[in-house]
Amino acid sequence: MLKLPSLPASSIAAKLVLGYGLLGTASIVLVSAVFYTGTVGVLDRDIDGKIVAQSDRLIEHAGRRHRGVLLAEVRRQLDDGIDSDREIFQLLDAAGAPVAGNLGTWPAVDAVAAADADTPPLVSAVVTRNGRPTTARLYLRPLDGGGVLIVGRDLSEQEEVRDVIWRALLAGAGVSLLLTVAGALLFRRTIESRLGAIRRTAAQIETGDLSPRVPVSGNDEFALLNRDINRMLDRIELLMEGVRHVSNAIAHDLRTPLSRVRSKLDDALRHQATVPGLSGAAHAAIDDIDDLIRLFERLLQIAEAESGMRARLFERLDLGHVAADIGEMYEASAEDSGVTLTVDAPEHLYVDGDRNLLASAVASLLDNAIKYAGQGAAIRVRAGLYHGQASIAVHDNGPGIPETERGKVTQRFYRLDDSRHMPGNGLGLAIVSATAMSHGGSLVLEDGAPGLVARILLPVAL
């Protein structure tokens, strides 16, 4: 079994995996930042708002009254028991000495006097409260006449909440990152598996075996690609089989006429070394060589039709006109052969194609029908729609073709045993089939009961 190396880091799969991983990581960071801002940030803003509002109420309550009113209000706030484990109040006199409050230490207030009185600072600092250090959010507000009112909140609970959120974010980010990595690896393995099937098939075909096909599963983009590749391989295998068949047929069928030409020339040189004898042998050899040239021209015609080289010459044409013209052209030949020929070709049956190729294909079918149906036969050419496709059918009441042979007579150089004594080289139906396929259609041979129906099916022009 062929073993293919894994995809290198420079492969498109590796780049897609890297891009997917980076995108996943960036998404995790962005979501975490938004979540953190939407939780911790909201809590911080809420605390700041409460601190400022509480400070404003104290100052508003004291108003322009004696400093003792503010002092009494600060003490009342400390003693009311409401949220006392978190609230911070500290009143300092003009010298910075404590007057009342629940702080053991507080930030230096040297810069308070230099601060804008309209925008007193909100700071986070480590203070001593109830004999233990703690982180607090403080609003340092200078007072008229000197002194500072400090209002704040103990942030120990917020720090715990912050720690919980951080741990949750880190855990979530870790799990998400692991899932991202696992997903990226799974994605790469899937890509490698799907591409590996194509590469293994290509490697088998490279060895000369055209039979392997890419496995098709599902209906995704890879499945569509694999179907396209398989259709291409089917076509290549068909063409290669045709080439091999043609090579074998040429080797066998052309040896006889070439040997006959050589034999006639050799016999003329040996036994008829006269001008009339040599002239007759030369003319006979020229006739045989002309037959070979026509044979090669028909082979080239098949190759040209199968290659699709003339597809660029396709034009919109009325298939009924093509059938009528060819039928009219063969009326004299049919009459000379004692064959009755009728043509039923309605107008406005449009297809896209090469007029010359299609006319030649219909002519080949008529030529075969006249040749093999026999004297006294009736041949009918009919154009029309057949199961949704444009059709030109040539129906004769001759001996027909056995059902077991119908799939073989479109092969190059294949001839029925009963027709080997008649002139021909077995390329007529092969040319018709190749022409139909080059137009996206097909040649169908049916039992005419009696006789044969040879039908060219083509897509109707839209």
Lowest mean pLDDT among 73-82, 160-169, 198-207: 73-82
On the question of pLDDT at 48 being above 80, the answer is yes
- Residues 141-161: pLDDT tens digits? 887 777 888 888 888 877 788
SS3 readout for 208-275:
CCCCCCCCCCCCCHHHHHHHHHHHHHHHHHHHHHHHHHHHHHHHHHCHHHHHHHHHHHHHHHHHCCCH
Q: How big is the chain by its Cα radius of gyration, in Å?
A: 49
Please give the biggest Cα pair distance in the chain: 155
For residue 204, give the 3-state DSSP assignment: helix
Q: What is the mean pLDDT of residues 6-17?
A: 62
Q: What is the mean pLDDT of residues 417-424?
A: 53
For residue 154, give the 3-state DSSP assignment: strand
Q: What is the mean pLDDT of residues 394-399?
A: 87
Range among 24-38, 108-122, 369-383 with highest mean pLDDT value: 369-383
Lowest mean pLDDT among 3-17, 217-231, 232-246, 253-267: 3-17
d(Cα 280, Cα 265) in Å, to the nearest integer? 10
Residues 6 or more apart whose CB falls under 8 angstroms from that of 375 comprise: 337, 338, 339
Asked whether 284 and 354 are in contact (CB, 8 A), the reply is no
- Residues 181-218: pLDDT tens digits? 787 778 778 887 888 888 888 888 888 888 888 888 87
Distance, C-alpha 452 to centroid of its chain:
44
pLDDT at 60: 77
How far CA 262 is from CA of 229, 271, 285, 297, in Å, comes to 47, 14, 8, 22
The average confidence (pLDDT) of the chain is: 78
Look at 295 and 33; give whichever has higher pLDDT. 33
pLDDT at 216: 87
pLDDT at 416: 61
Percent of the chain with pLDDT over 70: 81
d(Cα 451, Cα 280) in Å, to the nearest integer? 42
- Of the pLDDT bands very low, low, confident and very high (cuts 50, 70, 90), residue 114 is very low
For residue 398, give the 3-state DSSP assignment: coil
pTM: 0.47
